[in-house]
Amino acid sequence: MASVPRSFLLLSIIPTILILCADFACCNTGRKTGDGLDTDFSGFSVPLEHSFEVDDVSRFRMRGALQLRGGRETSVSLSQSQLSEEDRKTLKEVAAVDGLYKIRVPRVSLTDRQTERQMDGYLTAFVRACSLVESHLSDVITLHTDVSGYLIGVSIVTIPGACRGTEVEDEVDLEAFNTTLTIIAPTNAPQPETALFIERMDIEHEKRGKPQEQKSFFAKYWYLILGGAIFLMASSSAQPSAGGAEEQQS
Amino acid sequence: MAKLTSLFVILLSFFCISEAVFEDQVGKFDWRQQYVGKTLFAHFESNTQSSKKMFVATDKNIFASFNSRTGDLLWRHVDKTGPEGSIDILLLHGQDALMVVGDGRLLRSWDTNIGGLNWEAVLDTGSFQAACFVAIQDTVKLVAVLKKAAISLHYLSNGHQKWVENLPDSDAVQYQAVYSGGEEEVYVLGVVPNSHLTIIAYSLEDGEIIKSVEASWLSSIESSCVVVGQGVLMCVDPATLALYTLPIQAEETPEFSQILLQSLDLEVFPGFQPVLVSSQPHPARSPLSEFFLQLGPDHHVLLQLNADGYTIAPLRDFQPAFLVSFATTGKKTVAAVMTPKNETACAINLFSVDSGRRLLDTTVLFPLEPNGGKPHTLYVHAFLKKDDSVGYRVLVQTQDHALTFIQQPGRVVWTREEALADVVTMEMVDLPLTGTQAELEGEFGKKADGLFPMVLKRLSSQVTLLQAWLAHLWKLFYEARKPRSQVKNEVTIETLSRDEFNLQKMMVMVTASGKVRREGVTASGKVRREGLFGIDSKSGSILWKHYLENVQPNAAFKLIVQRTTAHFPHPPQCTLLIKDKDTGLATLHVFNPIFGRKSHIALPALPRPILQSLLLPVIDQDYAKVLLLVDDQYKVTAFPSTKNVLQQLQEMASSIFFYLIRSDQGNLSGFRLRKDLSTERIWEVVLPTEVQKIVAVKGKRPNEHVHSQGRVMGDRSVLYKYLNPNLLAVVTESTDTHPERAFVGVFLVDGVTGRIIHEAVQRKARGPVHFVHSENWVVYEYWNTKSRRNEFSVLELFEGTELYNSTVFSSLDRPHLPQVLQQTYIFPSPITTMEATLTEKGITSRHLLVGLPSGAILSLPKMFLDPRRPEVVTEHSREENLIPYAPEMPIRTEWFINYNQTVARVKGIYTAPSGLESTCLVVAYGLDIYQTRVYPSKQFDVLKDDYDYVLISSVLFALFFATMISKRLAQVKLLNRAWR
């Protein structure tokens, strides 16, 4: 994302980031400006709100709109506006007193939109305001869903995540968010891998067991038997002569 | 399959980790205590002085026999838990013990000598009401069992049913009692509350006669009527304050005759329901005509029904008297009465039933412990002595479920703390240092005040050390001359001190029992009795106990060690948080875990329900860790709340985060502390309850150390572990229980930021889920609904080959998600509980301790639960010592750490580190308590018991002298050569 020229980013009033589920290919940039809003009518949009106050009392304001689309390919995109002059000032002040920057999204279901059952309540997450400022508003927002497609949690982190106390001089750095957005569904935990294990055992069996079973006793040890037989024959033929020699001597 | 298993065995033999107990080690480092629970019925064997057996049936569905001389278990039968195995009644006759089990489901007869089952008969359905023996011509041959709608007679010899009769009009009439006085008839008594009494007489050869008696005042036979004398029903009515008598066997329609209590000069304690106590010494004869009437909590009267069956004569008034009981031996029947003597003891006396006179020399003292429970029930074993006088022994059951057996003249033979059959939670606390060690420690603890005083102090402490050492030597010398058997190492509270390797600890156990049973519907039965016990981990002896009264029946407990013994001279401090589950209101009990004494510290007022408690690493000036209690308005109370603590809290407020879980709403939320001790909600995760419900949440143990930051792989690179101390493992179960759609969810959530680190779903699975969360791994066990088997799954988290920030871990600054590896195995047994071993520094490899339903405790090496076990063996995996993947997890009998000492109904396993890195202390509790030590990596830091010091030192000395001599010889030789 950093590779995008800043002037270009500035020109795009609404940077839209579209990321497919579990696929970190970000189709970022202003080339798609406006597209996101026009084409995704099959999905729906929920507000993404944020709050940063010096006195730490939450007052949520609109940050942008999340375009959610359920179904087989769950996807999400975000359209958000720039921070105003006043907001930038407040954010810097909050960062100075080590305040928090909070975001929230309403609880929704991605799958059953027909019932339109709006659940009350929000999902909230936070990040330290100073780290947001120091990372020049580069944040990673992750939405988590459960098995049936309900949003269950949201998280926000900044990259880098640390607060080192570096001054952010350039007001320009704090104008637009550089957001990476992902939506994560639960992974399926593995089952015991019996089939593979048995297969492997069979292969090992074949390797080890088969050649031994096929060969008969004689086939396997013919050279020993032969050797033994020759030895016996040789010794039996040699013995009488040796014995005879001894007898003769005595 | 056979091929698979045989191969498996061959494979396993390569990774042989031999780890078994040698025969001579049995009982050396381990002990087991077996319990039976709260006694419901108790009987003594026979009425001779030499009899040793007694039988109890308990609320834990156990039928057991004790040796009454020692209190040891002779045998024990553990039945199913829950109502299916509950014991309704225990009747004893001669060698047979009759038992009705499972609300009238089964009738069992046991041989009392060996505890074997004679026979078992399945009874018809219907809830159990009463049972009694029935005699024919002076010999007891039958047993009658009364159910809600039927009565059946069974032969004692084989359990066969003689006959069964349906009771008439059983919808309206509540049949509650059955009576047989040795005649040819069995009487069933039923009542229509506040209307009339029904008496049905069945002749033993099957016939019935029904009588109905007007009794508008009677509501329950069970609670207000007994049979006395020649078949006279005696009832007490608290409303009219009168006794009613009714001859059951009368030919014509009988009538109740009323005797006002006032006419007997008796007065009922206001608000007290009078209770009648009678006795039928032998089932073939009618009950005694004497009976007790309890008029108040500590007021009993012995009354006698005169021969005419209408008039009553008072024999003796007992006030104060807590408990009364009848006991019969031969022809003599006596009454035992317990009266309070003073603050510390109660006196028990025998009285002749016929006259009400006190028998001489029968006083027995029962010691009352200041922190123990009050006496609850009295069981008397009377016998005839050689001179034909009555002797007795008495078993007293106290409110804290302890059984005390007392012999004349007042000697406590044994005590069994049956509350320990129901341990809820426990902690292990280090023992204090000895006086001299403490002296040294104290020297370092104090502030330095000049060079000279310091030198003096050092000298004086050295002198005391020398003194102690000399005294120790003297003691050794003195005891060496005595025979070995006389030297006893009695453990008392005074001699408690830490041993060299901190292997001996104090076990603080919280017990709770007080299930409201069908029988126990008295007011006192509803209050949960809770006890605190301090047990020496080396010998298992109970060093102190504390009985807490008036704890709500469904309270939850949390035991917190606020200050360990390390801060001499401040005493260690434990806090028990008792929380009522309904109201959420909490109380604190602060005590010294070594002596069990309650601390007199000002407790904070907790007017609001408590949601969460957390122990901070912040310590006050007295080295006590600070306990934060969060109430339902998210306000925080600190304990202790000194100025110092509040100041520290204010400074640290912005870095104190905590989480709350509302499993009923599926809500997990995080909070941050503000400077004014209010809180702000900073994150929220909601798991919709329509889909799944949270079953359990576990963090990591705060005293856990991880020695190694990573794992060295085959190619010599390091795979770093993701060691997040704030990580929570949240386990959910689906609300849909269909086998195809059921699932178990495992969420790893950061407790500070609320970030979901990992989210996995185990399909076609259901609980109960047992799991352990430690280091960088989570192991969980569940039931696979598709394959119908138990499975183990292990999740391990790794940061990767590079650490993000190697110096310090902060949840706020860890942007990258860890790599998660997972593997699943088949486990061939269901499990009841699971815990991981814990050692001092975390160098020793870890084992999982798995409690099996069979009572065995399996020590399963974590090595077998490693998601990096390779499918195909490679050079690298061999280098790493990874076991090739096999879907089946083995259970090998040498891994049973409790060899044949099975722990019945294991409920929990507690592990604690010892001073030796190789050794982990383990306590398994359930019905029994078992303590042992485990060595997951064997005893690498300990010399063996049979290490031959003499041989080694003699070899050393011999070598030394050999060198000396050869050196000398060499010198001589050199000198000689020089002269040549």
The rounded distance, in Å, linking the Cα atoms of B834 and B852 is: 9
Give the pLDDT score at B727.
Answer: 92
pLDDT tens readout for residues B758-794: 999 999 998 899 999 998 999 999 999 999 999 999 9
* Residues of chain B neighbouring A153 (CB-CB closer than 8 A): 685-686, 749, 754-756
Has residue B923 got a pLDDT over 80?
A: yes
Does residue B401 come out as left (phi exceeding 0), alpha (psi in the -120 to 50 range) or beta? left
Q: Tell whether A113 is within 8 A of chain B (Cβ).
A: no
Amino acid at B400: D
* Residues of chain A neighbouring B823 (CB-CB closer than 8 A): 190
Residue of B nearest to A158 (CA): B815
Best mutation target among A157, A159, A198, A205 (most B Cβ atoms within 10 Å) is A157
pLDDT tens readout for residues B693-711: 999 999 998 888 888 888 8
Q: What is the mean pLDDT of residues B817-822?
A: 92
Measure Cα distances from B332 to B47, B298, B391, B394 in Å.
11, 26, 11, 17
Scan residues 788-817 of B and list those with Cβ closer than 8 Å to A.
791, 793, 805, 812-815
8 Å CB contact of A160 and B815: yes
8 Å CB contact of A152 and B805: no
Residue of B nearest to A159 (CA): B815
- Within 10 Å of residue B875's Cβ, how many Cβ atoms? 9
Give the pLDDT score at B137.
Answer: 77
The rounded distance, in Å, linking the Cα atoms of B99 and B95 is: 13
Measure Cα distances from B304 to B353, B355, B525, B586 in Å.
9, 9, 31, 50
Question: Which 8-state DSSP code applies to residue B523?
Answer: G
Q: What is the mean pLDDT of residues B631-641?
A: 85
Q: Which of B672, B761, B812 sits opposite A161 (nearest CB)?
A: B812
The rounded distance, in Å, linking the Cα atoms of A243 and A195 is: 69
* Banded model confidence at residue A35, pLDDT cuts 50, 70, 90: very low
Scan residues 37-96 of A and list those with Cβ closer than 8 Å to B.
56-58
The rounded distance, in Å, linking the Cα atoms of B704 and B726 is: 13
* Residues of chain A neighbouring B3 (CB-CB closer than 8 A): 201, 205
Which residue in B428, B431, B657 sits closest to B561, CA to CA?
B428
Share of chain B above pLDDT 70, in %: 92
Question: Which 8-state DSSP code applies to residue B541?
Answer: -
pTM of the model: 0.83
Give the pLDDT score at A169.
Answer: 67
Scan residues 129-188 of A and list those with Cβ closer than 8 Å to B.
131, 140, 142, 144, 146-148, 150, 152-153, 155, 157-163, 184-188
pLDDT tens readout for residues B121-135: 998 888 888 888 888
Scan residues 698-757 of B and list those with Cβ closer than 8 Å to A.
743, 745-746, 749, 753-756
Q: Tell whether A115 is within 8 A of chain B (Cβ).
A: no
Mean of pLDDT over chain A: 73
Measure Cα distances from B4 to A202, A205, B204, B244, B824 in Å.
9, 11, 64, 77, 18
Residue carrying the six token digits 């006196």: B347
8 Å CB contact of B745 and A126: no
Q: What's the order of all strands across the beta sheet hosting A151-158?
A: A151-158, A138-145, A178-184
Contacts for B427 with CB less than 8 Å, ≥ 6 apart: B507, B508, B559, B561, B574, B593, B910
Q: Which of B213-222, B607-616, B811-820, B879-888 has the lowest mean pLDDT?
A: B213-222
Has residue A22 got a pLDDT over 80?
A: no
8 Å CB contact of B680 and A148: no
* Residues of chain A neighbouring B813 (CB-CB closer than 8 A): 131, 161-163
8 Å CB contact of A128 and B692: no
Nearest chain A CA: its distance from B576 CA (Å): 34
The rounded distance, in Å, linking the Cα atoms of B747 and B762 is: 11
Largest CA distance in chain B: 140
Amino acid at B167: L
Q: Tell whether B874 is within 8 A of chain A (Cβ).
A: no
Best mutation target among B741, B743, B753 (most A Cβ atoms within 10 Å) is B753
- CA torsion sign, B18 to B20 to B24 to B25? positive
The rounded distance, in Å, linking the Cα atoms of B837 and B844 is: 9
Q: Could you tell me the two tokens for B261?
A: 């209590």
Q: Tell whether B890 is within 8 A of chain A (Cβ).
A: no
Give the pLDDT score at B211.
Answer: 73
With 0-12 / 13-18 / 19 or more C-beta atoms within 10 angstroms meaning exposed / middle / buried, residue A119 is: middle
Q: Tell whether A206 is within 8 A of chain B (Cβ).
A: no
Q: Which of A125-129, A233-237, B22-26, B742-746 has the lowest mean pLDDT?
A: B22-26
E strands along B514-597, which residues? 528-536, 542-551, 555-563, 573-580, 586-591
Q: What are phi and psi of B776, to 5 degrees?
A: -115, 25
Q: Which of B4, B745, B888 sits opposite A186 (nearest CB)?
A: B745
Share of chain B above pLDDT 90, in %: 22
Q: What are phi and psi of B14, to 5 degrees?
A: -75, -30
Has residue B744 got a pLDDT over 90?
A: yes
Q: Which of B654, B820, B887 sits opposite A192 (nearest CB)?
A: B887
- CA torsion sign, B829 to B830 to B832 to B835? positive
* Residues of chain A neighbouring B761 (CB-CB closer than 8 A): 147, 186-189
Q: Tell whether B657 is within 8 A of chain A (Cβ).
A: no
Measure Cα distances from A130 to A105, A161, B679 in Å.
22, 9, 21
Answer whether B845's CB lies under 8 Å from B839's CB: no
Q: Which of B471-485, B545-559, B673-687 has the highest mean pLDDT?
A: B673-687
- Identify whether B815 is preceded by a cis peptide bond (ω within 30 of 0): no
Amino acid at A69: R
Q: Which of B672, B793, B805 sits opposite A189 (nearest CB)?
A: B793
Q: Which residues pair with B372 in a beta bridge?
A: none
Has residue B334 got a pLDDT over 50?
A: yes
Which residue in B898, B889, B900, B844 sits closest to B866, CA to CA?
B889
Give the pLDDT score at B772.
Answer: 94
Residue carrying the six token digits 């008796």: B266
Q: Which residues pair with B560 in a beta bridge?
A: B575
Answer whether A129's CB lies under 8 Å from A103's CB: no
Q: What's the order of all strands across the beta sheet hosting B833-836?
A: B833-836, B847-851, B857-861
* Banded model confidence at residue B166, pLDDT cuts 50, 70, 90: confident
Give the pLDDT score at A211.
Answer: 55
Helices B451-481 + B435-445 axis angle, to 10: 170
Distance of CA B464 to the CA centre of its chain: 43
Q: Could you tell me the two tokens for B125?
A: 């359905």
Q: Tell whether A219 is within 8 A of chain B (Cβ).
A: no
Write out the H or E segment, with its range, that includes residue A103.
Answer: strand A100-106
- Identify whether B640 is preceded by a cis peptide bond (ω within 30 of 0): yes
Answer whether A118's CB lies under 8 Å from A106's CB: yes
Give the pLDDT score at B485.
Answer: 52
Residue carrying the six token digits 């308005």: B633
End-to-end CA distance of chain A: 108
8 Å CB contact of B691 and A148: yes
Q: Which of A137-141, B178-182, B628-632, B766-770 has the lowest mean pLDDT?
A: B178-182
The rounded distance, in Å, linking the Cα atoms of B868 and B670 is: 33
pLDDT tens readout for residues A109-166: 877 655 555 567 889 999 988 888 888 888 899 999 888 888 889 999 988 878 887 7
What is the count of residue pairs from A and B with beta carbons less than 8 Å apart?
Answer: 143
The rounded distance, in Å, linking the Cα atoms of B616 and B653 is: 11
Give the pLDDT score at B273.
Answer: 84
Contacts for B411 with CB less than 8 Å, ≥ 6 apart: none
Q: What is the mean pLDDT of residues B786-806?
A: 89
8 Å CB contact of A162 and B822: no
Q: Which of A140, A147, A198 sits opposite B761 (nearest CB)?
A: A147
Best mutation target among A60, A94, A147 (most B Cβ atoms within 10 Å) is A147
The per-residue DSSP string of B767-832 comes to EEEEEEEETTEEEEEEEETTTTEEEEEEEEEEEESS-S-SS---GGG--SPPEEEEEEEEESS--S
Q: Which of A112-116, B771-775, B896-900, B937-941 has the lowest mean pLDDT?
A: A112-116
Q: Which residues pair with B63 in a beta bridge?
A: B57, B77
pLDDT tens readout for residues B289-319: 888 888 888 888 888 888 777 788 888 888 8
Collapsed DSSP state (helix, strand, coil) of residue B761: strand
The rounded distance, in Å, linking the Cα atoms of A239 and A248 is: 14
Q: Tell whether B12 is within 8 A of chain A (Cβ).
A: no
Nearest chain A CA: its distance from B781 CA (Å): 12
8 Å CB contact of A193 and B687: no
Question: Which 8-state DSSP code applies to residue A43?
Answer: S
Amino acid at B941: D
Mean of pLDDT over chain B: 84
Q: Tell whether A127 is within 8 A of chain B (Cβ).
A: yes
The per-residue DSSP string of B635-672 comes to -EEEES--HHHHHHHHHHGGG-EEEEEETTTTEEEEEE
pLDDT tens readout for residues A75-111: 788 888 888 888 888 888 888 888 888 999 988 887 7
Q: Tell whether A106 is within 8 A of chain B (Cβ).
A: no
* Banded model confidence at residue B7, pLDDT cuts 50, 70, 90: very low
User: Taking the C-alpha atoms of B173, B178, B181 and B183 in order, what is their torsion angle to the nearest 10 degrees?
Assistant: 70
Measure Cα distances from B15 to B9, B22, B835, B883, B940 in Å.
10, 21, 23, 8, 19
Nearest chain A CA: its distance from B842 CA (Å): 29
Has residue B3 got a pLDDT over 60?
A: no
Tell me the pairing of strands B765-774 and B756-763. Answer: unpaired
pLDDT tens readout for residues A166-200: 777 666 677 788 888 888 889 999 999 888 888 88
8 Å CB contact of B871 and A200: yes
| More reliable by pLDDT, B757 or A37 | B757
Scan residues 746-765 of B and list those with Cβ closer than 8 Å to A.
746, 749, 753-756, 758-763
The rounded distance, in Å, linking the Cα atoms of B907 and B925 is: 6
Give the pLDDT score at B443.
Answer: 63
Nearest chain A CA: its distance from B754 CA (Å): 7
Q: Tell whether A7 is within 8 A of chain B (Cβ).
A: no
Nearest chain B CA: its distance from A58 CA (Å): 9
Q: Which of A102, A131, A191 sits opposite B682 (nearest CB)?
A: A102
Give the pLDDT score at B19.
Answer: 57
Q: What is the mean pLDDT of residues B542-569?
A: 80
